[in-house]
Structure 1
Amino acid sequence: MAQLPLDELTAVIARIQGLLLTEEKVTTAIRLLARAAKESVPGTIGAGVSLIDGRGRRTSSGYTDTIVSQADTVQYEYGEGPCLTAWASERPVLVTDLNVEQRWPQWRNGIAGLPILAVVSAPLLAGKESLGALKLYAAAPDTYDHGSAALLQLFAAPAATLISHIQANEAPHRMTAELQASLYTRDLVNRATGVVMERMGLRQEDAVRFLIRQAREEKTSLQQVSERVVAGTPASGT
């Protein structure tokens, strides 16, 4: 297994860690990391990171090649695979040859049409929390060995720190925006309900049902219907 020279590897990691001081988004930073990880092991056809998105879904981020997303999607669909195992066990996972691998039968069958025969994945550990997994895919067996897993862990450590840092900084702003949107929608619906009650002589619960029914019939959101009512444009039937 060929490795990056120590000074080059150190420079790559320093560049990744330097992003901690910038305004870079998670995906941008991860793309740099994935590209560096891919280039560190000859024969790698794709690299990427598995994370949990804002809706609690497992997703692939910053991947270098489409094949990474394709292989990962099958893992998420069946809930099994080397990256999910590395994530859950908090230990590196090495697959030298999928032709003889016995683990994850559904995932192996699901990617049978993809040119993937070797995988190495390392967990992203920030303190006591496992944030996800960094992975490499190869088309030839025996592309990776335990040295590859050790090298990938060197990338995973600053990556976990980076992701944890950016997520922590973005979370308060994201939560504030979501809270503001929620409060705005609630106030808007309440105001629209009052307008419908007065205009149609309905009780509060009936007015709310009317707005919901309009949204369904028009295939739009309750917020959009409420905005129109409050703005003075009659909803259908008023």
Structure 2
Amino acid sequence: MRMDQMARFSEPLSASSDDDQTFDADAFARLAVELHDADGMEETVEAVVQFALQAEACSYAGVALTLRGTREIAAVTDPLVAEIYQFQFDLGEGPMLTALTEGVAVHVPDAANETRWPTWTAEMAQYPIGSVLHAPMWANAQLIGVLSLYNTEPNAFSADDEAIAHILARHASVAVASTRDDETMTAAVDARKLVGQAMGILMERFDLDDVGAFEILKRYSQEFNVKLRDVAQELIDTRKLRGDAR
């Protein structure tokens, strides 16, 4: 994230002085603008976790994403969050993994005395974490990730913190889903350009029409079990098709 963008988050996220303790709408408005201006997935999730640090009682933050069965550590404010994420992936248990797979919010008031995930609790003894809060990220009825907040002290997260986490997770979900759609569309356009360029090479070399050139690319893709765009890229780079000694 650029320094000028990080400056937008310099004001702490806090409840207003109203009796109902409504949250600072201006803070979330700033976040919405920042997420809209973010350039790609990496900058989007980085903006989310940096903003999360402004939430009351948040010492560390992270975002893990899931897509078509794959999971990734998308952004963390400290390497220890990545370590905590990773050992849960490796162990197959933990509050983050529960939130990420079941799509439910998970609050761990006292990490040292947590009983729901005994292996996780034992592993967490090496980290300076007292309490944990995970909020699922949903977009278009699809679970896409989880926002994680950590504090070094037990019983640090209040009902207000939980409300902040859920609001932030909703903002993050919309931004991440939109960014994914944009990147998918860009990748599709790039793939079509590559295939078109490769077809042009074949048409010129073998005096083929576009149908014939595409059939050759498709045949090589199926024969070698390689994506069509990768076959096209290889032809463009080497001026040869895979297995062609010429």
TM-score by length of 1: 0.69
* d(CA) in 1 for partners of 2:110, 2:62: 20
Q: Is the 8 Å Cα contact of residues 92 and 149 (structure 1) preserved in structure 2?
A: no
Task: State the superposition RMSD in angstroms.
Answer: 3.6
* d(CA) in 1 for partners of 2:83, 2:140: 30
Given the alignment of the two structures, is residue 169 of structure 1 paired with residue 179 of structure 2, yes or no? no
Equivalent of 2:75, from 51, 62, 68?
62
Equivalent of 1:154, from 164, 167, 172?
167
- The code of the aligned residue for 2:52 comes to A
Secondary structure of the residue aligned to 1:99 is helix
* d(CA) in 2 for partners of 1:5, 1:230: 63
Q: 1:5 maps to which residue? A: 15
Q: 1:105 maps to which residue? A: 118
Q: 1:50 maps to which residue? A: 64
Q: Is the 8 Å Cα contact of residues 19 and 162 (structure 1) preserved in structure 2?
A: no
Q: 1:78 maps to which residue? A: 91
For structure 1, which segment, 114-123 or 101-110, has the greater mean C-alpha deviation from structure 2 after superposition? 101-110
Higher relative contact order (CA 8 A, sep 6+): 1
Secondary structure of the residue aligned to 1:84 is helix
Q: Is the 8 Å Cα contact of residues 34 and 47 (structure 2) preserved in structure 1?
A: no
Cα 1:48/1:178, change in 2 over 3 Å = farther
Question: Residue 14 of structure 1: CA displacement?
Answer: 1.1
Equivalent of 2:54, from 29, 32, 39?
39
Listed one character per residue, the Cα deviations across residues 198-230 of structure 1 (whole Å, up to 9, x for unaligned) are xxxxxxxxxx9xxx9xxxxxxxxx998x96694
Question: Residue 86 of structure 1: CA displacement?
Answer: 1.8
Q: Is the 8 Å Cα contact of residues 74 and 111 (structure 1) preserved in structure 2?
A: no
* d(CA) in 1 for partners of 2:152, 2:36: 36
Unaligned runs of 5+ in 2: 1-11, 17-21, 203-219, 225-230
Q: Which has the larger radius of gyration?
A: 1
